[in-house]
């Protein structure tokens, strides 16, 4: 991964931005205002922690939708608006990232939904390069789980401040103090309670607003499909209504505050503390408190480091970075969307910008904001916004677009694959469709495509972080291109970067095969770690460099 960037040096709070206006008088007033209104974040979690349900609940509380898509009962269960692939609907998990934009409390919220499964951690990493904050969602019964820990480390590495949400408090689980101790001990992040639960896990009555000593009582709605009504009570009324449960909540929260676990904006932005909110996304309890925390505490868009060692300020001329490419989101629109995060300046639909990787002009006539699969033509966008560019075949994750003053942002690294399969079309008559499908999956970064002269184009090798990526490829090839494909596992488990001088000798070794990735990088696939150790010991002059691991 690239070197970490100190967040404090790059974050622009509203006060910072106002003061910078005097040094950049060319920046229009509305740009500074619009930047201050933006909050761009992602939700990170272990699979089945309720991430997609929370995404839907946030959109519900922002009045973007009238009814949540996830409701109780298998017979009546709907898919969430952010899960649009048939595989996602069938399995109830997210395997692709999507972008949702909505207005809340005079702010524009850009929520980039991330894949929940560990096999798609590379896609999640790309998303985390495009956000300014993250919500770390934790299951109240399970606490910190492996995938959550990995993604938190990515946030820490990138200097992304984290708000913690303890979800599923309507179900039996651990004690709140135990969960906060685990966060402190396992990841070294000091949790600062903002909204504390009244009632044990499984008996969620409401929330204590720690700062105001106010009680927020929730009333359930049918299936949690609509916004839960809230009743606000002062401390005396809360004590009379809830008795010991209120007293316990008050004592626990005061104990934490007295021990120094109180919210401090500088500590939060520096990644030392994390505001904590207890919630039930399924019941819509505590959801608008999450939105309020994001609006109040999450940073507005700030400068982004470039490859030259400088930083592109939000008030500089337009620039953006592509973090996701996706096709097949809508069968009615067989097109390809490149999702870009606006970094600086004002984006205007139709403007001609420069593609930094090729130096060629790029027209932006077809630009969209998206809400799941719903599309709306966008005329203008500002730093922090996510815009989809239609049929942007030249763009790939990590690419830069800019206007006027040249800039290029650091590329997004590819993760080290650990699973490899030969891909073949069942029917030779569908070879042209097969080639188009392979090129499409490759350009989106769904998997890495490897080729060599021995195997030829008819049998490319798919390289993936997790095996479920292969399932996505097969499913999409069938649904979008009408191609039945089969996978044949290849007996390698490791990949290392090599060079042309080493390739011939490596190809002569048992248990090693050299391929060219579509970006031109040479990869040596190795059968196992013992074979790798042997080659490194016996042939130390050969190049075998580690790639970025998904767990880094």
* Binding site listing: 113-117
Residue whose structure tokens are 């984006």: 347
- Tokens 């700030």 correspond to 302
Determine the Cα–Cα distance for residues 404 and 218; give it in Å rounded to an integer. Answer: 52
DSSP β-ladder status, 162-167 and 448-451: unpaired
Determine whether 406 is exposed, middle or buried from the number of CB atoms within 10 Å of its CB (0-12, 13-18, 19+).
middle
**Distance (Å, rounded) from C-alpha 422 to C-alpha 190?**
47
> Checking phi first, is residue 63 left (phi over 0); if not, alpha (psi -120 to 50) or beta?
left
**What residues contact residue 491 under an 8 Å CB cut-off, 6+ apart?**
527
> What is the full DSSP assignment across 113-130?
E---SGGGHHHHHHHHTS
Distances (CA, A) of 167 to 57, 92, 164, 452: 12, 17, 9, 48
Q: Are 449 and 497 in contact (CB under 8 A)?
A: no
> Is residue 252 a contact partner of residue 244, using CB atoms and an 8 Å limit?
no
Residue 142: partners with Cβ closer than 8 Å, 6 or more residues away: 46, 49, 173
Which residues define the annotated binding site for GTP? 113-117
Decide the pairing of beta strands 38-44 and 107-113. parallel
User: Can you spell out the DSSP letters for 457-476?
Assistant: TTSPEEEESSTHHHHHHHHH
Distance between CA 457 and CA 436 in Å, rounded? 12
- Cα(first)–Cα(last) distance of the chain, in Å? 7
Number of DSSP helices (H) and strands (E) in the chain, helices first: 16, 29
Nearest residue to 522 via CA among 541, 540, 502, 508: 502
* DSSP β-ladder status, 190-198 and 273-278: parallel
Distance CA 524, CA 499 (A): 9
Instruction: Dump the DSSP string for 180-224.
Output: HHHHHHHH--EEEEEEEEES-TT---EEEETTTTEEEEE---GGG
């Amino acid at each position: 991964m690239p070197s970490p960037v100190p967040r404090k040096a790059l974050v622009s709070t509203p006060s910072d931005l106002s003061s910078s206006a005097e040094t950049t008088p060319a920046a229009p007033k509305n740009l500074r205002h619009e930047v201050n209104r933006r909050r761009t974040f992602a939700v990170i979690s272990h699979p089945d922690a309720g991430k997609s349900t929370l995404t839907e609940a946030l959109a519900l509380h922002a009045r973007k939708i009238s009814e949540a898509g996830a409701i109780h009962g298998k017979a009546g269960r709907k898919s969430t608006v952010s899960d649009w692939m048939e595989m996602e609907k069938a399995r109830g998990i997210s395997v692709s990232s999507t972008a949702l934009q909505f207005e809340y409390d005079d702010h524009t919220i850009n929520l980039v939904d991330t894949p929940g499964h560990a096999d798609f951690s590379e896609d999640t990493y790309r998303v985390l390069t495009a956000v300014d904050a993250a919500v770390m969602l934790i299951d109240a019964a399970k606490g910190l789980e492996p995938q959550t820990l990995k993604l938190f480390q990515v946030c820490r590495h990138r200097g992304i401040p984290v708000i913690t949400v303890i979800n599923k408090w309507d179900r039996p689980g651990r004690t709140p103090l135990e969960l906060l101790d685990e966060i402190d001990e396992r990841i070294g992040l000091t949790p600062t309670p903002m909204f504390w639960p009244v009632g044990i896990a499984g008996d969620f009555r409401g929330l204590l607003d720690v700062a105001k000593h106010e009680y927020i009582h929730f009333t359930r709605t049918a299936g949690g499909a609509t916004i839960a009504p809230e009743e606000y009570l002062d401390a005396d009324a809360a004590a009379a209504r809830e008795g010991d449960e209120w007293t316990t909540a008050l004592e626990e929260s005061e104990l934490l505050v007295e021990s120094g676990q109180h919210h401090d904006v500088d500590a939060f932005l520096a990644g030392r503390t994390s505001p904590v909110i207890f919630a039930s996304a399924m019941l819509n309890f505590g959801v608008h408190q999450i939105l309020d925390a994001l609006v109040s505490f999450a940073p507005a868009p700030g400068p982004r480091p470039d490859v030259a060692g400088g930083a592109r300020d939000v008030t500089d001329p337009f620039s953006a970075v592509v973090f996701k490419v996706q096709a097949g989101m809508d069968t009615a629109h067989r097109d390809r969307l490149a999702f870009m995060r606006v970094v600086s300046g004002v984006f205007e639909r139709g403007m001609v910008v420069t593609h930094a990787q090729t130096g060629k002009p790029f027209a932006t006539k077809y630009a969209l904001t998206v809400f799941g699969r719903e599309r709306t033509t966008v005329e203008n966008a500002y730093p922090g916004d996510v815009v989809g560019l239609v049929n942007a075949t030249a763009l790939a994750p990590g690419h830069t677009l800019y206007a006027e003053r040249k800039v290029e942002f650091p590329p997004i690294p590819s993760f080290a694959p650990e699973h490899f399969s030969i891909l073949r079309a069942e029917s030779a008559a569908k070879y042209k469709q097969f080639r188009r499908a392979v090129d499409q999956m490759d350009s989106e970064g769904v998997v890495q495509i490897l080729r060599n002269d021995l195997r030829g184009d008819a049998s490319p090798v798919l390289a993936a972080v997790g095996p479920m990526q292969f399932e996505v490829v097969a499913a999409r090839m069938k649904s979008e291109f009408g191609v039945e494909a089969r996978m044949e596992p290849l007996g390698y488990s490791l990949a290392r970067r090599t060079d042309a001088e080493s390739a011939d000798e490596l190809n002569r070794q048992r248990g090693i095969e050299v391929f060219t990735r579509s970006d031109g990088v040479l990869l040596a696939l190795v059968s196992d770690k013992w074979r790798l150790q042997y080659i490194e010991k016996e042939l130390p002059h050969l190049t075998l460099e580690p790639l970025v691991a998904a767990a880094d």
